[in-house]
Amino acid sequence: MGSAADVAQVLKVYWALLLGNILEWYEFAIYSFLEPYLETQFFHGSAISTWLGFACTFAARPFGGIVLGLLGDLFGRKVSTFLSICGMVIGTVGQGLVPSYQSGEVAGTIGLVLLVALRLLQGICTGGEIAAVSTYITEVGPKRSLARSMALIGITANVGFLLAQCASFLTREAVGLAAMESWAWRIPFIIALIPGVIATAGRRCIPESQVFLDAKAAADTTSDVSDVGSESVDANSGDAGSQGAARQAVARIKHLVASQWPALLIGIGSVAGVSVLQYGGFLWGNVFLKKHGASPDHLIAAGVTARMLSVVLAPLVAWLADTVGIGWIQLIGASALTLAGLPLFLVQKWMPDSIGVVLAAYGVGYGTIFALVGMIFFLLVVELFPVEVRNAGVGLSYNIGFCFFGGFAPTVFQASLSWTSWGPGWLMSFAGLVSLVTFVISIWLQSAGKAQLQLAHIRPEPYFALPGRTTDSNQMHSDTAKV
């Protein structure tokens, strides 16, 4: 009862963060569900070029993660979340307003350039969005139910994907295929304006993270004492403030890379499985099945099944993480994807027109695995970094991982079919193996005291304790870990 009240309080106070999170994942998913129409409108029928347009957003995410992450570490989590939601709304709605080649060659070229520019803006802003939101929730959520609070991010992400699939399906059903191919593909982009405005207004009123405020107050006190001499010199220069901010930002980046490089690498590898399943298995897989005979009705049923199953299982997975540790969830989920990625793809490839197969493999198979690897993995990444570099650390590691593994997954999946018809399945299993190996190495490094690695800065226990015992490294950090 107490844990349920904790989660309800987080939802009540920080609803605007979670609504923005729905919008973020909706924006990424809607492009993929509209890929067949964008392929003809902007990319002259080239599927690979269309998926490269999808991937360009991810190329911008690490930049947004580090820039907005630094802003969040310097000026507050609230600032970075407000800037990110504004950019996401502009980037998404704008994609529904650009001209296409249907209006002529010149208009189409201008529209393609604008489309790419808006997707880059979207990537920059979403790169900072998830880092800020996940950092926010971990810092304001009670420690006893931390995973259950973080599950709200996974649940709202699934809601965003489900809404994107429903929006594309319902728009087509309402106006017909001909109108969808001509102009109605714009509607799912434009309607994002409504929740975007609500989330933007709501984020102006959320309270700042107290953990950040305490850390900033302590850092300012130390800075005031140690930098008195330098401040008196800087006061004589006209642009002392901007120079000081620039020096502070550069110093933070250097400190982050120099002191946290093991955590950065672990964060990148940890998201391999979930990002490839999300953007390769779910999004590219949906288009693949559509092009190989699966009916829209079957696909919407499978998509709803997968997303709802993940949402229903999320509280149980989160409770297990709060009970036995997030490490166990990562181990089980990465192992499941490694073993099941290939066979789940193959049965869909062999029988794409079978509603039973698509529901079982895409709906139940992907949905169950995603509940393990995708609903609370944010906590695993956030835990890696201390508070003074947390926002930037999460933004950099998470977004590099999602850019490299997830952003290019549809393009690589599509290209792999020319090498072997089993390619996408092998790639999904390989992504699961990358996350699995990353986790095993991280546990070994911490247990052996290598690289001064601390996997859990917020809640050292439970993390990955064997039944009946506690890892020496967790015990070592339990008294010294700081939020």
CB 308 within 8 A of CB 368: no
Residue 148 three-state SS: helix
Backbone φ, ψ for residue 100 (5° rounding): -120, 180
CB 25 within 8 A of CB 275: no
> 146-175 and 105-140 helices cross at what angle (nearest 10)?
150
> 47-75 and 105-140 helices cross at what angle (nearest 10)?
40
Q: What is the model's pLDDT at position 209?
A: 65
- Residue 15's identity, in one-letter code, is W
Q: What is the model's pLDDT at position 237?
A: 44
Kindly report the number of other CB atoms within 10 A of residue 366's CB atom.
30
Kindly report the number of other CB atoms within 10 A of residue 224's CB atom.
10
Burial (Cβ within 10 Å: 0-12, 13-18, ≥19) of residue 178: exposed
Tokens, residue 91: 């980037």
Percent of the chain as helix, strand, coil, to the nearest 5: 85, 0, 15
* Cα diameter, the chain: 75
Q: What is the model's pLDDT at position 228?
A: 46
Residue 404 three-state SS: helix
> 366-373 and 326-350 helices cross at what angle (nearest 10)?
160
Q: What is the model's pLDDT at position 474?
A: 42
Q: What does each C-alpha distance from 476 to 319, 385, 387, 441 come to in angstroms?
A: 25, 17, 19, 19
Ranges of residues in the chain with a pLDDT under 50 are: 1, 226-242, 470-482
Return the DSSP state at 354. -
- Residue 395's identity, in one-letter code, is G
- Per DSSP, helices labelled H in 141-238 are 146-175, 177-182, 187-190, 193-203, 210-226, 228-234
Q: Which domains does the chain have, with CATH numbers?
A: 8-211+250-478 (1.20.1250.20)
* 466 contacts: CB under 8 Å, gap ≥ 6: none
CB-facing half-sphere around the CA of 243: CA atoms within 13 A: 10
Q: What is the model's pLDDT at position 266?
A: 95
- Using alpha carbons, select from 256, 259, 261, 258 the residue that is nearest to residue 66: 256
CB 72 within 8 A of CB 226: no
The Cα–Cα gap between 86 and 202 comes to: 12
The Cα–Cα gap between 185 and 97 comes to: 10
